[in-house]
Amino acid sequence: MKKHKKTSLKIFIRTTAFLSVLLILLCACDKQTTESATPEKTPSSTISATPSALQTPTSKPTATTEPESAGMTEPESTPTPEPSISFIGKAVCTANEFVNIREQASVDSQILGTLPADAAADIIEYKDDWAQVSYNDIVGFVSTDYLINQSAPDIAVPMGDWAKIMVSPAYYLPESFEVTLADFKDGQVDARIADICNEMFSDAKDDGIEFKLVSAYRSKELQSELYQKMVDRYLNKGYSRDDAETTAATITARPNTSEHQTGLALDIVSPSYSTMNKGFATTDAFKWLNANAHNYGFTLRYKEDKVSITKVIYEPWHWRFVGVDAAADMKQSGECLEEYFDMLD
């Protein structure tokens, strides 16, 4: 009986121990399940202090990743280029000798250099009565009173030996001379130069210069009539016939010695100055022609300092087509046609 009680006690102790262990295991599993279902809340102070910590990064940095700026070579800085100068055209100096280039648009401003007569400068901008120009690396201001726009045709200028025909008191046109004519303004010209004549007049108008054509082609008969009227004028003044004819020929050419009979000569004035005299040389119309006519193949035929050679008075209104090459050469050299063609008496 005592032995039986002892055995029962052992069984009870073992059963109790087993149940205790089982209870402990069940409690542990229940706690683990509860923690998985309800995550721990982050304290509000952490959220407000580091909001970015709650954001999911697009890529996880590795242990060897350095900050973006670390270990990287800064790109070389490209120097900012100096602003380039934009030119809106060219202008030619119309002063007798030169005009001053000044630092500012004022006559009291410092003089930086000079722009010689007939020299062309790049125009940067116009400012009231001044133009900002660039000439020989000098950038400054020049009064527009001494500038005229430089112009050139957009069409081809005709060329050929026919344009170099010499007509003067010493060189008569042959009696057989003929020319095919085309209408131009209120007159006629050699048909080969009609387009370039129109182009020159049109380009001048675009620059604000209005031309008036006084005379172009003249027939031998008309030239004879004009010449005789001039002779009669001097006869009425008491000149002898020889003197009257000689003097008249310096103003109105004898028949077959006039360039107008070739259809290559134009007498040009302006609506505001329609008189053919030396005063035309002071007008903007003349200044435009003097600066640009050679680009269209025309030369000032009877220059003021060449009267002894041409035997014709100074005529700033009389322009003769000779072609671009000859006109440009004479513009550069200052020669008259007789000198250029080496046809001196």
Positions marked active-site: 315
Work out the widest C-alpha separation in the chain, in whole angstroms: 191
Report whether 148 contacts 284 (CB < 8 A): yes
Q: Is 41 helix (H, G, I), strand (E, B) or coil?
A: coil
Residue 150's nearest CA partner among 97, 88, 100 is 88
The packing angle between helices 194-206 and 284-292, to 10°, is 130
Instruction: Please count the other Cβ atoms lying within 10 Å of the Cβ belonging to residue 67.
Output: 8
Residue 90's nearest CA partner among 160, 152, 169, 36 is 152
| Angle made by CA atoms 328, 209, 180, in degrees to the nearest 5 | 60
How many Å apart are CA 333 and CA 70, to the nearest integer?
71
Compute CA distances 95 → 85, 211, 256, 299, whole Å: 26, 21, 37, 19
Which phi and psi (to 5°) does residue 139 adopt? -115, 120
| Angle made by CA atoms 321, 326, 331, in degrees to the nearest 5 | 95
How many Å apart are CA 231 and CA 242, to the nearest integer?
9
Residue 161 burial (C-beta neighbours within 10 Å; 0-12, 13-18, 19+): exposed
